[in-house]
Chains A and B, each alone.
Chain A
Amino acid sequence: MPQIEETYDVVVVGAGHAGCEAALAAARMGLETILFTVSMDSVAMMPCNPNVGGSSKGHLVREIDALGGEMGKNIDKTYIQSKMLNESKGPAVHSLRAQADKAEYSRAMRMTLEQTDHLTLRQAEVSELLAEGKQITGVRTCSGGTYHAGAVILCTGVYLKARCIFGEVSYPTGPNGLRAANHLTDSLVQLGIPVRRFKTGTPARIDKRSIDFSKMTEQKGDARVVPFSFTNTEEDIKREQVSCWLTYTNETTHAVIRENISRSPLFSGAIEGTGPRYCPSIEDKVMKFPEKDRHQVFIEPEGEYTNEMYVGGMSSSLPEDVQYAMYRSVPGLEHAKIVRNAYAIEYDCIDATRLKPSLEFREYDGLFAGGQINGSSGYEEAAAQGFMAGVNAARKLQGKEPLILDRSQAYIGVLIDDLVTKETFEPYRMMTSRAEYRLLLRQDNADLRLTDIGYEIGLIEEERYQNFCRKRTAIENEIKRLESVVTGANKQMQEFLEQAGSTPLKTAATLAELIRRPELDYEKLAAIDPERQPLPADVVEQININLKYEGYIKRQQQQVEHFKKLEKRLIPAEIDYDDVSNLRKEARQKLKAVRPASVGQASRISGVSPADISVLLIYLGK
């Protein structure tokens, strides 16, 4: 029987947040790319929470944007509320989070895909990977079509052999009742790539009309909106914002959960997958923290043209009747009508330590993976990996070195290094604490860290790059000027300082020195700095941060210098760990399994001790 047969450069399997970024990156780099999805209506779908960003995840989005990815631009188009989190803390942990209109987010991303040259969208389930020896050659779909390609990127999310569960009920579907992908796992296993089972979950959606908001605390968006994308200004995206609402669980809620915990599929054994520790279900929280008398619950709109409200903080896999009792015990939800039940979802994923830092499988040339299939959780984590996999698949076909970001360059670097180095036993979530050099990896300087790279790989257009260069020069020049302008301890100066609540000068000082005082900043010095030219807010922000935290930034940079030493000690790909005597057995096994690219990466493998690293260094040194 005649079958469809087509040829592309790059095949992307799955059109979630990872797949969209992967396909866009590859196509924009000039490679003929085809993007498969089980449903054209679920492109860039947000099946769980209705927001993008948040603590450390906001950093990822801004980094993706600085490199030339799409997520930041797409959320700027479709946000309905924006907030800068942690503003009371240091600039390293400021983090942007925006509520999305889910349907709009999905629609806008799909439109971008549709308008991108070299990009083909195709609704079909990929069921088989094609390989010749260790070279991936393409994919086959359930309907028998063959698609040849030099590179295949797996972005299957939670769809592989997906199963949705709540209470005694279990459906063999992906999220939102979408069709699961039931064949690709077998193909992976046949290629010698083992899979494992992870689990995640989502709370119920509740009808807005059944909620009593008077019993909750309103959470408004920020008056001053910071865009995710460095290509946008506040004016570009300013709009009316909607509110979220805060309420709490209570002892009644917890009693309902405890009484019915035996009916949870987790306890009955119906769920075998491992869930995320950092994104626990409400029953997990109640059972693990019995001393806590309440937990936060955020009621968040799913969009502007829907009454569905997301119950953040109360994901669950308890039976339907228990869900009702549990949600209705929460103040404001007494009469809640559930539109969609909470459920847990189980799916197949791979052990990402089989991947190189480029996200290509070590065993197969041209096979890449990004997103939840790698054992991560979260839209932003997925998008970051998808983007990097897309870039590296394209670069491979172009005969270029892969783009690898290290832990001192970006949260993306931390994310991927963790995934490919440390075996994860639960879905991996990005967190601030995972980034050692977070003072350097701020969300506000993602463009300064990464735009050069985005430009070099061809994903930042010339005009944007020139704008960026002007911004960078403006920051550098102004800091130089502030370091050189000396102001005397004259009467006008002392009066100014007194008014600003600062101490008078004893000797002359530079403007930079004054900015370093905790009670002063760049803006406040306007009165005594007549020479200054007007500068945009983002330039002023960099000046303030760079001057005020100079000492800390320098010390962190020294730590990075030290870190880089071992990153630069590369381990030859062909190293035979059996030849390295005196390695402990466990270390030898781990090193053989992960095959780290550098001594630095080796040192981060759990089960490899400093003494093992010394052995390795001695072996490499001689």
Chain B
Amino acid sequence: MFQKDTIAAIATGSVNAGIGIIRISGTEAIAVADRIFRAKKQGKTVEQLPGYSALFGNVCDGDCVLDEAVCLVMRAPNSYTTEDVVELQCHGGRIMLQRILDLVLRSGARPAEPGEFTKRAFLGGRIDAAQAESVMDMIYARNELAARSSAAQLRGTLSLRIRELREMILEHVAYIESALDDPENYSLEGYGDVLRPQIEETLVQVDRLLATAEEGKLIREGIRTVILGKPNAGKSSLLNQLLGEERAIVTEIAGTTRDTLEEDVQIQGIPLRIIDTAGIRDTVDTVEKIGVDKAKNSVTDADLVLYVVDGARPLDMDDTRIMELLEGRRVITVINKIDVEQTVDKMWIMEQIKAPVVELSARTGEGMEELRKCLTDMFFHGTLSMNDEVYITNLRHKQALQEAADSLRQVLTGLEQQMPEDFLTIDLMAAYEQFGYILGETLNDDLANEIFSKFCMGK
């Protein structure tokens, strides 16, 4: 049951940071805060504070001072959850935050369920479904671009776009229906010619949003980039080069297989998940077979393959085998070791693999800039800009958009077949409803629970 009880959680991430925030929300939030917070200024209580003001003081468990804190009050309905909210901004230590949270929970709050703060914001009518989902996406965002996209959605960029399309459709439906009920004052004469270009334009916009779905996925998960090459081609050096200066924002995830390493890295804001297949490195037949299979599998899932060629050695059977794997993939050919004498037939490679070629030295770093430029061009040139663009990063949104596009195509078919206008409203309304799903304005039995079950704690 959805209670009006008061919930609390640590709102900041799990990494030790300078400040940690404990958020309390609900009708008892202020009372709970007053039980544990002593203002430095004698006699001041949280209860006395107006919304959006703060007190400085100590968090105390009885007589024992746990931490210094700033206590920030937001009063209903002007808060994230639309309820009374208190945020205790403490010193960051994880263990200390946990102790303070325990204290808060002993003083009248209960632990927030995953996503419960945002659930309350949604149910309080402060944000719509699309915005709620983008909060979740933002929390899970693995990289800067995904976070930006989610932030744009949270601000309602996607909602705004969809709402515009939806209103446009509603206007047409309303006009057609007015004409059905009041033919004296509203004529449908030639209305198809008014409707058609607008539906076509809407369809273009929906298709454009849908086209971002694939890039949206890349943004969220990172571009799966597989480095392939025969032994000693310089794969490891290239990986280190790519990781090198970006080290600070790299997180390391151990691969599921013993000899595959996955690393997340950003090249100028573009997220890459680099998979180093150490597979093709042994000449013993059985092992090599396993290695090639592994490499093959990695390549199948890859969004991009960096094929590293040893520029100082002629091509051999290993290269031929690798080139077979590259069939139909997005590839950048990297000719390595330009700092030593080149023996490889560059022209032949370019004929064999229809892909950009970058020459570099993974040892000295020469040519790395060119590789970065090649990467950014390949994925974003002309299709994605870095600013406030709306990306579809959510499967539910994608499905709804696809359904809407199907319905809009039905409208065009109906126009083509010169169906009476009242038929067109059936498909127009279907598209309208699908857009409504994205905004949470078309009712769906399970929507609320579905969205919030995925939320993490504290937001």
Contact = CB atoms under 8 A, between A and B. Distances in A.
A619 interface: yes
A90 B420 contact: yes
A93 B122 CA distance: 40
A559 B430 contact: yes
A581 B178 CA distance: 39
Given A432-B177, A581-B2, A618-B2, A439 B423 contact: yes
B449 A615 contact: no
B426 A555 contact: yes
Contact of A584 (B122, B125, B418, B448): B125
Contact of A432 (B180, B429, B445, B448): B180
A97 interface: no
Contacts of A289: 185
B421 interface: yes
Interface string B422-434: 1100110110010
Contact of A611 (B4, B177, B440): B440
Nearest to B440: A610
A51 to B, nearest CB: 16
A609 B125 contact: yes
Select the residue from A93, A611, A612, A618 with max chain B CB neighbours within 10 A: A611
Contacts of B418: 518
Interface string A538-559: 0000000000010010011001
Residue of B120, B419, B443, B445 contacting most chain A CB atoms (<10 Å): B443
B430 A555 contact: yes
Interface string B187-203: 00000000000000000
B340 interface: no
A614 B122 contact: yes
B1 interface: yes
Given A90-B419, A614-B447, A617-B448, A582 B124 contact: yes
A474 interface: no
A94 B426 CA distance: 17
A528 B351 CA distance: 62
B4 A581 contact: yes
A93 B422 contact: yes
Contacts of B427: 555
B259 interface: no
Contacts of A479: none
Contacts of A603: 443
Given A90-B419, A439-B426, A610-B443, A55 B2 contact: no
Nearest to B176: A433
Interface in A508-529: 518
A10 B183 CA distance: 42
B120 A582 contact: yes
A530 interface: no
Interface in B167-184: 174, 177-178, 180-184
B283 interface: no
A62 interface: no
Nearest to A566: B443
Contacts of B286: none
Interface residues of B, number: 39
Interface in A272-292: 278, 289, 292
A491 interface: no
A55 B181 contact: yes
A556 B443 contact: no
Contacts of B448: 614, 617-618
A193 to B, nearest CB: 32
Contacts of B120: 582
A388 B423 CA distance: 30
A64 B321 CA distance: 78
B385 interface: no
Interface in B23-58: none
Contact of B423 (A552, A617, A619): A552
Interface string B297-318: 0000000000000000000000
Nearest to B422: A90
Contacts of B426: 439, 552, 555-556, 559
Contacts of A92: 422-423
A506 interface: no
A566 B445 contact: yes
B127 to A, nearest CB: 9
B402 to A, nearest CB: 15
B3 A618 contact: no
Nearest to A429: B181
Interface in A572-605: 580-582, 584, 603
B441 interface: yes
Contacts of B125: 584, 609, 611-612
B124 A611 contact: yes
A569 interface: yes
A89 B2 CA distance: 50
- Chain A interface bracket (under 10, 10 to 19, 20 to 34, 35 or more): 35 or more
B391 to A, nearest CB: 24
Contacts of A133: none
B75 to A, nearest CB: 16
A293 to B, nearest CB: 13
A433 B421 CA distance: 13
B123 interface: yes
A397 interface: no
Contact of B180 (A89, A559, A582): A89
The winner among B123, B180, B185 for most chain A CB atoms within 10 A is B180
Contacts of B441: 610
A55 B182 CA distance: 9
Contact of A617 (B124, B174, B410, B445): B445
A612 B443 CA distance: 10
Given A89-B421, A603-B443, A618-B2, A611 B181 contact: no
Nearest to A587: B125
A617 B440 CA distance: 14
Given A518-B418, A552-B423, A613 B430 contact: no
B445 A569 contact: yes
Interface in A57-96: 86, 88-90, 92-93
A414 to B, nearest CB: 13
Nearest to B121: A611
A86 B183 CA distance: 9
A433 B443 contact: no
A566 B417 CA distance: 34
A438 interface: yes
A565 B184 contact: no
Interface in B400-457: 410, 417-423, 426-427, 429-430, 433, 440-443, 445, 447-449
Interface string B115-152: 00000101111000000000000000000000000000
Nearest to A555: B426
A559 B429 CA distance: 9
A614 B452 CA distance: 12
Nearest to B417: A518
A55 B445 contact: no
Contacts of B440: 610-611, 614
Contacts of B124: 582, 584, 611
A54 B381 CA distance: 59
Nearest to B448: A614
Q: In the complex, which of the residues A556, A562, A582 has the most CB atoms of chain B within 10 Å of its own CB atom?
A: A582
Nearest to A600: B443
A566 B443 CA distance: 9
Contacts of B420: 88-90, 93
9 contacts: A55-B180, A55-B181, A433-B177, A552-B423, A565-B445, A581-B4, A610-B442, A612-B125, A619-B2
Given A582-B120, A610-B441, A611-B440, 20 more contacts: A55-B180, A86-B183, A89-B420, A89-B422, A93-B180, A432-B180, A432-B422, A433-B177, A433-B180, A555-B410, A555-B426, A559-B429, A580-B2, A581-B3, A611-B122, A611-B123, A614-B123, A614-B447, A617-B445, A619-B1
Interface of B: 1-4, 120, 122-125, 174, 177-178, 180-185, 410, 417-423, 426-427, 429-430, 433, 440-443, 445, 447-449
